[in-house]
Chains A and B, each alone.
Chain A
Amino acid sequence: QSALTQPASVSGSPGQSITISCTGTSSDVGGYNYVSWYQQHPGKAPKLMIYEVSNRPSGVPDRFSGSKSGNTASLTISGLQAEDEADYYCSSYTSSSHVVFGGGTKLTVL
């Protein structure tokens, strides 16, 4: 199972919006509404930000939103804040009943 494809890095200024893409295949992202997004700060465990494509766990700001079109899922962060600077990973359920992660995207807040 190949990793999902994410851009290596994205950047934005405080207050701006950014979108991180996550491209898979019809056997993972395109085939199931089980796409999640995780935020990871250096030296910390990942934190669930979005699950099942567009659902936010309790406590996650509504500045974070998720969507999916075909084989590509997206995470959008609006009103960027300094504390949003982190690595972001997408993940998806697969046709093999497994989980696959993306390679990760480093978000820099300028």
Chain B
Amino acid sequence: QVQLVQSGAEVKKPGASVKVSCKASGYTFTSYGISWVRQAPGQGLEWMGWISAYNGNTNYAQKLQGRVTMTTDTSTSTAYMELRSLRSDDTAVYYCARARVAVAVPNFDYWGQGTLVTVSS
């Protein structure tokens, strides 16, 4: 069965970086992409970006350009999302979701369990 298992909760200070992992199983990793979506406490969903696990192409949300990097390791079927220069409003649950391989359409059929990132001094 398809599973996306994310790394554990993180507490970071403002200005630091965080790297969240998302290990996929149950399907051919390179036949799909991964999108990252975050949800601040009590708020709605926010799309952060997408990466193709086939060729590494990426597409990032405008507001995160320059602060976010998404990568994949096909040898371990793992996707990573790194967010730098953290601010308090980056406090959120971060989700990875399986996506189409060639384009960032919102057909997110499987989701990870979420990783809480808390940014606090």
Contacts and interface: CB of A to CB of B under 8 A. Distances in A.
A90 B44 CA distance: 11
A89 B43 CA distance: 11
B103 interface: yes
Contacts, number: 68
B55 to A, nearest CB: 15
Interface in B30-54: 35, 37, 44-47, 50
Interface stretch (A11-19, A45-53, A75-83): A45-53
A96 B109 CA distance: 22
What is the interface residue range for chain B against chain A? Answer: 20 to 34
Interface of A: 1, 3, 34-36, 38, 40, 45-48, 51-52, 57, 89, 91-93, 96-104
Given A1-B62, A48-B108, A99-B104, 19 more contacts: A34-B107, A45-B113, A46-B37, A46-B97, A47-B111, A48-B109, A52-B107, A91-B45, A91-B106, A93-B103, A93-B104, A97-B104, A98-B59, A98-B61, A99-B47, A101-B37, A101-B45, A102-B44, A103-B44
